[in-house]
Structure 1
Amino acid sequence: MAEPQHIRGPSVTSRALSILGAFEGSSGNLTVARIAARANLPLSTTYRMVHELEEWGGLRKGSDGKYQVGFRIWELGQMAGRRLRDRAHPFLQDLFDLTHENVHLAIREGTQSLYVDKIYSSRKMPQVSRIGGRLPLHATAVGRVLLGAQPDWFVDAYLQRELEAPTTKTVTDPRILTQLIGDVRRDGYSVTIEQMRMNALSVAMPVVFNGQTVAALGLVFEAFRYREVQRFMPQLRGTVDRIEVAMAGRPVHIGE
């Protein structure tokens, strides 16, 4: 008679990752009890591992006793897309100086847009994206640009998922989204209005390197200013061109 296989519990690594994953989508400040609940781990285990992660620098305890992601994790996260960000940032700054609007740069990570750089405007706009943050592909202009760059089988599989609707105006109908993604592929840019936040409009274009879309560059401003989209197109297009030249390793003079 064969011996029953030993059923192993979660590894130390998976438990540590579950604890760090508990902060995804949160406000960033969590009690140990809340971390345990979100990570689906026993409270005693969570206490021990949170303390170890704090000593390593992965978590940081605030004066209120709640925890947030530590600087060491943030520093590691900054390594993702660093070459792209380093090459692109001076041109994002130029675009911001020209438009005085929120500027951001995103890449695709799985089924989400990962924001690798952003310059904030002083305008009172609802801030949804943040450096290192992730948002759904279908609900942002940069996301639709990145989604439109994928093969049809990927787009079809993505649209068959249950799509979240951050606002009452977020498009989640696969048939409509298929048409909108087709428009992005045809026009070379995407415009979304009140898809992630009410009163917010975003416009984005692809950044292409070696024939592949590697990122999307976008602007965000108030939705009631939708007539100004075309006014920003030359600046957005010019910035994308300069980033692509810099990515190819050719010299670009800042401010030219």
Structure 2
Amino acid sequence: MFELGALAPRGLGLREAALPFMEDLYEVTHENVQLAVRDHDEVVFVERFAARDAVAVLTRVGGRFAMPPTGVGLVLLAHAPPDVQERVLAAPLTRFTAHTVTDPRRLRRLLADVRRTGYAVSDRQVTDDAVSVAAPVTAGDTVVAALSVVVRGSSAAAVRGVTPTVRAAARGISRLLQDE
């Protein structure tokens, strides 16, 4: 079986494609960098770089989290099939902070903004001191993952500063996945 498996063609996996871009994002920002995928109605974190002096996050590699309050979750939910979106929006939405969006109508508007702009901002929705900027990672026309940087506070300047970098890194990962 091992020999047969060794003969099978292998493409570059998501994590392997993402690691160099995540390392570069970490070096540029010295903030938390995360890569996540959707599994049913949740986010699963597949890789994370944790900065020593960065804001604390509630995620871990292999851990699951609700989609709506996280930057990566907003990206993944915005591009999920309609039945997944409806199921998530119909379920009770957990409030983590006073900033957590729990109104389904407001969340629908946020998801539309994510699709329109190509990135998501989760402003203090999980903890009161963290903002996540996330962008989609695609394989062909399908969003397969989301990449984010989590910064301290709600500084618009910080968000503006990392948004182009996160989007460029997500596009780079997507190009590698496209070539496979």
Quick check: 1:205–1:217 contact (8 Å CA) kept in 2?
A: yes
1:5 matched residue in structure 2: none
TM-score (norm 1): 0.63
Consecutive unaligned residues of structure 1, counting only runs of 5 or more, are 1-81, 251-256
Alignment correspondent of 1:76: none
The two structures have a TM-score, normalised by structure 2, of 0.88
Which of 214, 231, 234 aligns to 2:144? It is 214
What residue is the counterpart of 1:197 in the other structure?
Answer: 127
Which residue is equivalent to 2:71? 141
- Counterparts of 2:77 and 2:157, CA distance in 1: 25
Match of 1:125 among 41, 55, 65: 55
Residue 169 of structure 2 corresponds to residue 236 of structure 1 = no
Cα distance in 2, alignment partners of residues 179 and 158 from structure 1 = 14
Instruction: Check whether the contact 1:201–1:226 (CA below 8 A) recurs between aligned residues.
Output: no
1:27-176 mapped onto 2 (5 Å cutoff): 83-176=13-106
Structure-2 residue corresponding to 1:4: none
Q: What is the deviation of 1:144?
A: 0.5
Q: What is the alpha-carbon distance in structure 1 between the residues aligned to residue 130 and residue 28 of structure 2?
A: 20
How many residues of Structure 1 are paired with residues of Structure 2 in the alignment?
Answer: 169
Pick 1 or 2: higher relative contact order, CA cutoff 8 A, min separation 6.
2
**Over residues 23-63 of structure 1, what are the superposed CA-to-partner deviations in whole Å (9 max), with x where a residue is unaligned?**
xxxxxxxxxxxxxxxxxxxxxxxxxxxxxxxxxxxxxxxxx
**Structure showing the higher strand proportion among its residues:** 2
What CA distance in whole angstroms lies between the structure 2 residues aligned with 1:195 and 1:102? 16
Structure 1 runs of 4+ aligned residues shifted over 3 Å read none
2:176 aligned with 1:246: yes
1:187 aligns with one of 110, 117, 124: 117
Q: Which runs of 5+ in 2 are unaligned?
A: 1-11
SS at 2:155's partner residue?
helix
1:60 matched residue in structure 2: none
Rg (Cα) greater in structure: 1
1:61-86 per-position Cα deviation (integer Å, ceiling 9, x unaligned): xxxxxxxxxxxxxxxxxxxxx92111
**Cα distance between partner residues in 2 of 1:103 and 1:143:** 14
Alpha-carbon displacement from aligned partner over 1:110-129 (angstroms, at most 9, x marks no partner): 11110000001122412211
Deviation at residue 219 of structure 1 after TM alignment: 0.5
Aligned residues with identical type, % of pairs = 36
C-alpha deviation, 1:238, in angstroms: 1.7
| Other structure's SS at 2:13 match | helix
